Structure 1
């Protein structure tokens, strides 16, 4: 349905854009036709006036023109001998009129323009010019403008189609990303919700037959499942904030943040029989959002623990190098394929190995937080040789 609406919107945009351009071309073409026709008409009028000014007799007018002369005293009328009978009639009638200009038909659909003028000696002259060449030029101009407008309209349709596709493409991409995000987020939330619901059902049944003291372990597991679900939601919120809002300009000590993260995740590491330690070399201040930076560091540690076998090691090291602060999270777990390095930072991407509390947003979240703080995240490793994720941020 949404795709159909996008297609309709694109077609409507093409029609409206092409229609608007077509109307503009039509108006411009009509204006050019009117102005050009008027200019040629004025040129013909000027030429006729010059002919009447210099004519001495009716015997030798310019090509395509015919003269008539009425004497002042005798009133005798002379007409160019080559004029047709109908044109002769028109010219004799013209010298009997008042001075001026008019268009008429000289028979057989033969339009002419007639100019009548008086001279100082009292004589009256008239000149008739064939309008066929003028009408022919106007017709050719009209055809040329029509062809140009059709070509312009075709170009407008192509341009409008291209522009509409470019305009709608981001909407289609956004719609696809939105659907993918909703589907992936639903998939990520479904598992912890299912576990949480199942455990709650089990507790509800056992609470009717067992004393409360014997349910303590399962209540603790229920709390842990709730916390895991909260982690997914927190990742979503922090990811959105890191992508659309600039981090606040506050000084954050990454060494302190790393120690807090390691302390909070020691219990989880012990459950998986993983040694988790932190190494710092003094304060490592940066400018940014403490919540986002802590969440990013947590995601790196969580990812490392999830890819280390029982008895493995994870080390968090914070160092300051000149004008940068580096947070390195190193593990001796299953490692990674270098070909997968870039894909690991996509939302909801998972490596081909590893387990643990990975919700598919962790590394993408780290990358977004790094970019929001004008930093970067890199990864190095090999299959079976562990991996090292390095978060680099500008030092404060």
Structure 2
């Protein structure tokens, strides 16, 4: 694992730890709020019971500590000793005296809160005041305890989750690093023989005529008797194709290196999908002809422009056409068109089609989504082509799907990409 991978793994572990800690804090806050609400409701219920119980006592002097009673009856006004200033609540007494029943109010006297119950009884009007000071202090202590516990839980969650995240992500990071290293090593090893192949093909091209033997700079070189002027030109064209193919393979290797590392971004440019489709069809036509299949490009005659990397889209076309050729019976059609802000690539074949329910699984790696047409000299099918198509489409904000065949048989794969202006 190199230093860049190590830094990325630490950042990912830190993000995971913070997210886990935030989840723990949220859960603890919800739990604390529930506990606080339950305790608060329990204290309010206890206060209510104290008010009702105190309103039934016979004498204000029998009131427990923190409870103050005022009785108004035929024998005048009786009250508990040390009655706080502001009691009794004259307004509540007048209300009960006029309408009967009971009235419950809240008062703040000398900086303390009181719950006051004024009611009409058989012996007159009684008014009970219960101090809320102790219950409020208990709630405050509970709130502080929950807050401190929450902070400690958050710190512990960050430390523990950071340790667990690093341990959990290390195998994943090492696996990804191994995958990238394999792709880099394979690409590096393949680049050297490809460079040699391209160099040798170019050197061979220089020794062959480009139009006719007479126009060749080596016209004086004696060619074998069985090599005619026409066949020499054909050989030159074939060598040129080898040069082009080696250049395409080199570009594919570069694209694979970029795709192997999600931190890398391939340079993009304005591309014409129609031209790319024509080129892909031309490259695959010899293989289609060898298999006895018709390969044609349909759709828009004019350009359909997107913003992407040319080699990636060329790989997409190659994978789509190769997949269709593997399953087609007689023909494959490549259609490029535009629909609103989308550029559409639709590749259809007349093969066995996709099984029901394979819409999503068809784009997974090593998925056997439909049988390959049995024919001699067909290459082995690994189930990677459509997965590569889905990966390239997603890289440029597109998506891939399966459409029903127009005539009820065969398969249609549709790729949607963002069209350029």
Calculate the TM-score normalised by the size of structure 2. Answer: 0.44
Calculate the TM-score normalised by the size of structure 1. Answer: 0.47
Of structures 1 and 2, the larger Rg is shown by 1
